[in-house]
């Protein structure tokens, strides 16, 4: 619901000035257009800024930064969905409150439990709390990474904010490229935490906190939560379906507590349809729903969204996306502030703008794919590679000779030689390691030849403690792909439009429930998200559930054949481009000219174009 920023010096000889905090606040004004505030500690070593998008307690009593007991001060971004329940518990313990805000409840919980307050918080959050008695700073990010928290830390100070833009306003920050982050971006299409693309600036990983004691200059960074797959519940399909529906109803109900209008993104797919159906049964009045349409029917889901809207009598709004939408690309590259290649950020921003005209909060279906194995290209392949590994390895030598002249079969057999983690990483990569080693230049080429870009995937698989290794793929996506790509996409796009996006399927209770479901109930009978679809059969038409997954994105291959193609050429082949310093120009030309002729280079071209626009936004 807000944007936060702050700055703290470790030395008593340095002071925070209000002008520094106001610069940071102004850089993230879009995150909180309703209110702004700053705080400077008595010793002037600690300063906070807050921008507020009011959702709960619209009065001045919800103003931030907020203090408690003349000791604790907080700057907080997010929403605590169980704050009323926790507040009642604290009242029974003798505490009293001045506001109706969840912010004040966090402060009271911290005063009571210290770092243990995190166990009590059910929601999305990034916050900083300063204790002026103990002279400590506590920064924390929610379990799954719905809300961002980025920071610069050295021996003399820490500077933090919801967005890098605020950190970059400070004179101590000298912008410098992190080439290792660029290398990983070219593989994944996003920048894995803790990297950001800027040397020295990090993002706090989901489920982590930082605790700084200024008295003894000590720092503690710790993970307080992670998804655990070891314990499985053995229920019938019918029982699982009911548990899923009950949990979704509770998490949706919690997210419909608001003092401002609420609506929902509706693609017509499994997840958003289930959320809208649940909202409709809980709401006494018709809900507002919003979708994007494409002229290209291969990518258009608006007819499926319309079926749900009609069934549940929603106030439905549709926006047509066109290739001309590329004019917003430089703006989005600056908004995303890290190298970011998810092309659906364009339509996410467009639908956020449309939605903001009608509501302040929009619920969505994010998390359904990661919780319930919804990406067929990843999870079905993973199931095949694990379940049939013995047979694949035994027949591979003979099959390699038989299928040598069949490229697809031969490619599969070659990949079968790789460790499981490498195969999983390859399912969703942009550029492959060999491709980068052959076609990059300079520092990126050195990294491509010496660094395993899939090290974080290897670590996730190697250290996995569950009994079914297929769950390691889900865990990786929950720890990296979900927060660093999907949630970052939605947070930046929605906040750029001053819109809150809430995700019932990413409720802590839903995630922990999904972790206890056997993988073989998530991918079964050739169906991804099997058990979720079975559960939703009660509330969503089967034609919405059992159809090929389309994904919420733009038709890159088609758009690159039109106006986007000439735009990409002008950006990527510019003599002064950053891309020409890290990528072989002849290979870039080949991709542009051969796109759709020999293969679809659309995702690669988009990745390079997004990188170039990001570089121009921050380093030119």
307-360 residue pLDDT tens: 999 999 999 999 887 665 667 899 999 999 999 999 889 889 988 988 999 999
Percent of the chain with pLDDT over 90: 79
Task: Say what the pTM is.
Answer: 0.94
The answer on 180 and 288 residing in a single domain is no
Burial class of residue 264 in the structure, from the number of CB atoms within 10 Å of its CB (0-12 exposed, 13-18 middle, 19+ buried): buried
Which of 5-14, 50-59, 210-219, 222-231 shows the lowest per-residue confidence on average (mean pLDDT)?
50-59
**pLDDT value at 568 more than 90:** no
Provide the greatest CA pair distance for the chain: 77
The answer on 271 and 165 residing in a single domain is no
The answer on 173 and 307 residing in a single domain is no
SS3 575: coil
Q: What average pLDDT does this structure show over 75-83?
A: 95
Confidence of residue 394 (pLDDT cuts 50, 70, 90): low
The answer on 193 and 269 residing in a single domain is no
The answer on 559 and 541 residing in a single domain is no
Percent of the chain with pLDDT over 70: 92
113: CATH: 3.60.20.10
Kindly give, in sequence order, each residue whose CB lies less than 8 Å from that of residue 514, ignoring residues fewer than 6 positions away.
371, 372
Q: What share of the chain is helix, strand, coil (3-state, %, to 5)?
A: 50, 15, 35
Q: What is the pLDDT of residue 583?
A: 97
**pLDDT value at 570 more than 70:** yes
How far is CA 203 from its chain centroid? 12
**pLDDT value at 233 more than 90:** yes
Query: Of the candidates 522, 545, 568, which is a domain's last residue?
Result: 545
Q: What is the pLDDT of residue 116?
A: 98
The answer on 158 and 108 residing in a single domain is yes
Helices (H), 464-561: 470-476, 488-496, 508-515, 530-536, 542-545, 556-559
Domain count, the chain: 3
**Contact, 582 vs 437, CB < 8 A?**
no
Instruction: Name the DSSP letter for residue 418.
Output: S
Q: Is 241 a catalytic residue?
A: no
Determine the Cα angle at 73 with ends 69 and 74, to 5°.
130
Domain assignment present for residue 37? The answer is yes
Taking only the tens place, the pLDDT of each residue in 81-124 is: 999 999 999 999 999 999 989 999 999 999 999 999 999 999 99
Which of 402-406, 441-445, 545-549 shows the lowest per-residue confidence on average (mean pLDDT)?
402-406
Rounded Cα distance between 547 and 260, Å, is 35
Kindly give, in sequence order, each residue whose CB lies less than 8 Å from that of residue 346, ignoring residues fewer than 6 positions away.
321, 325, 326, 328, 329, 332, 554
**pLDDT value at 42 more than 80:** yes
Domain assignment present for residue 408? The answer is no
**pLDDT value at 556 more than 80:** no
**pLDDT value at 168 more than 80:** yes
The answer on 312 and 197 residing in a single domain is no
Please give the residue range of the domain that contains residue 191.
Answer: 2-223
Q: What is the pLDDT of residue 324?
A: 56
Q: What is the pLDDT of residue 31?
A: 92
Q: What is the pLDDT of residue 593?
A: 84
The whole-chain average pLDDT of the chain stands at: 92
Domain assignment present for residue 508? The answer is yes
The residue annotated as part of the active site, out of 2, 117, 241, 515, is 2
Q: What is the pLDDT of residue 258?
A: 80
**pLDDT value at 176 more than 80:** yes
Confidence of residue 260 (pLDDT cuts 50, 70, 90): confident
- The H helix count followed by the E strand count for the chain is 28, 17
Query: Of the candidates 223, 257, 286, which is a domain's last residue?
Result: 223
Domain assignment present for residue 447? The answer is no
How far is CA 321 from its chain centroid? 23
536: CATH: 3.40.50.620
SS3 50: strand
The answer on 171 and 29 residing in a single domain is yes
The answer on 254 and 162 residing in a single domain is no
Q: What average pLDDT does this structure show over 51-75?
A: 85
Query: Of the candidates 495, 522, 545, which is a domain's last residue?
Result: 545
Residue indicated by tokens 């608001």: 258
Rounded Cα distance between 321 and 309, Å, is 20
Q: What average pLDDT does this structure show over 437-446?
A: 98
Rounded Cα distance between 392 and 403, Å, is 14
Domain assignment present for residue 328? The answer is yes
Domain assignment present for residue 231? The answer is no
Q: What is the pLDDT of residue 234?
A: 92
Q: What is the pLDDT of residue 548?
A: 83
Q: What is the pLDDT of residue 415?
A: 73
- The Cβ of residue 48 has, within 10 Å, a number of other Cβ atoms equal to 31
The answer on 286 and 175 residing in a single domain is no
Confidence of residue 35 (pLDDT cuts 50, 70, 90): confident
Domain assignment present for residue 400? The answer is no
Q: What average pLDDT does this structure show over 218-247?
A: 97
The answer on 215 and 67 residing in a single domain is yes
Which of 274-283, 320-329, 456-465, 483-492 shows the lowest per-residue confidence on average (mean pLDDT)?
320-329
The answer on 201 and 242 residing in a single domain is no
Domain assignment present for residue 452? The answer is no
């Amino acid at each position: 619901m807000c944007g936060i920023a702050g700055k703290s010096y470790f030395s008593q000889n340095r002071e925070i000035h209000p002008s520094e905090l106001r610069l940071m606040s102004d850089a993230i004004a879009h995150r909180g257009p309703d209110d702004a505030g700053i705080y400077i500690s008595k010793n002037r070593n600690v300063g906070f800024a807050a921008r507020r998008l009011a959702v709960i307690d619209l009065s001045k009593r919800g103003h931030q930064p907020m203090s408690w007991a003349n000791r604790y001060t907080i700057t907080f971004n997010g929403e605590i969905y169980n704050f009323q329940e926790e507040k009642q518990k604290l009242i029974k313990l003798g505490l009293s409150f001045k506001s109706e805000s969840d912010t004040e409840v966090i402060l009271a919980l911290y005063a009571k439990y210290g770092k243990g307050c995190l166990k009590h918080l059910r929601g999305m959050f990034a916050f900083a709390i300063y204790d002026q008695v103990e002279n400590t700073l506590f920064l924390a990010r929610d379990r799954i990474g719905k809300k961002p928290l980025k920071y610069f830390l050295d021996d003399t100070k820490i500077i933090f904010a919801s967005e890098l833009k605020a950190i970059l306003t400070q004179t101590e920050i000298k912008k410098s490229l992190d080439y290792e982050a660029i290398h990983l971006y070219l593989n994944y299409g996003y920048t894995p935490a803790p990297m950001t693309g800027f040397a020295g600036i990090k993002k706090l990983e989901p489920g982590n906190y930082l605790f700084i004691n200024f008295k003894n200059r000590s720092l503690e960074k710790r993970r307080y939560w992670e998804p655990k797959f070891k314990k499985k519940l053995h229920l019938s399909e019918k029982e699982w379906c009911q548990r899923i529906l009950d949990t979704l109803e509770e998490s949706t109900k919690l997210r419909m507590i608001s003092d401002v209008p609420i609506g929902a993104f509706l693609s017509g797919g499994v997840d958003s349809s289930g959320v809208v159906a649940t909202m409709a049964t809980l709401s006494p009045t018709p809900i507002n729903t919003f979708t994007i349409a494409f002229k290209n029917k291969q990518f258009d889901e608006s007819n499926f969204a319309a079926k749900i809207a009609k069934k549940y009598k929603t106030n439905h709004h549709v926006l047509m996306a066109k290739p001309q939408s590329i004019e917003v690309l430089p703006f989005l590259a600056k908004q995303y502030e890290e190298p970011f290649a998810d092309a659906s950020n364009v339509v996410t921003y467009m639908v956020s703008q449309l939605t903001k005209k009608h509501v302040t909060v929009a619920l969505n279906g994010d998390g359904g794919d990661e919780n319930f194995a919804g990406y067929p290209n990843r999870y079905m392949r993973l199931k095949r590679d694990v379940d049939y590994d013995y047979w694949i390895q035994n027949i591979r030598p003979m099959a390699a000779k038989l299928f040598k002249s069949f490229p697809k079969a031969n490619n599969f057999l070659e990949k079968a030689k790789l460790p499981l983690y490498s195969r999983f990483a390859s399912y969703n990569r942009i550029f492959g390691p060999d491709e980068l080693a052959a076609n990059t230049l300079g520092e990126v080429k050195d990294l491509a030849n010496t660094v395993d870009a899939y090290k974080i995937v290897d670590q996730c698989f190697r250290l996995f403690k569950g009994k079914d290794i297929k769950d390691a793929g889900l865990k990786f996506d929950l720890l990296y792909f979900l927060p660093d790509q999907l949630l970052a996409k939605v947070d930046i796009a929605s906040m750029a439009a001053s819109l809150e996006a809430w995700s019932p399927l990413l409720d802590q209770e839903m995630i922990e429930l999904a972790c206890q479901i056997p993988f073989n109930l998530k991918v079964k009978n050739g169906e991804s998200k099997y058990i979720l679809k079975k559960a939703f059969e009660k509330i969503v038409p089967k034609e919405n559930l059992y159809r090929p997954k389309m994904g919420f994105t733009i038709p890159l291959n088609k758009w690159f054949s039109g106006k986007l193609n000439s735009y990409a050429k002008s950006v990527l082949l510019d003599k002064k481009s950053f891309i020409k310093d890290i990528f072989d120009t002849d290979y870039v030309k080949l991709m542009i000219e051969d796109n759709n002729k020999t293969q679809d280079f659309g995702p690669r071209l988009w990745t390079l174009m997004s990188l170039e626009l990001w570089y121009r936004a921050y380093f030119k």
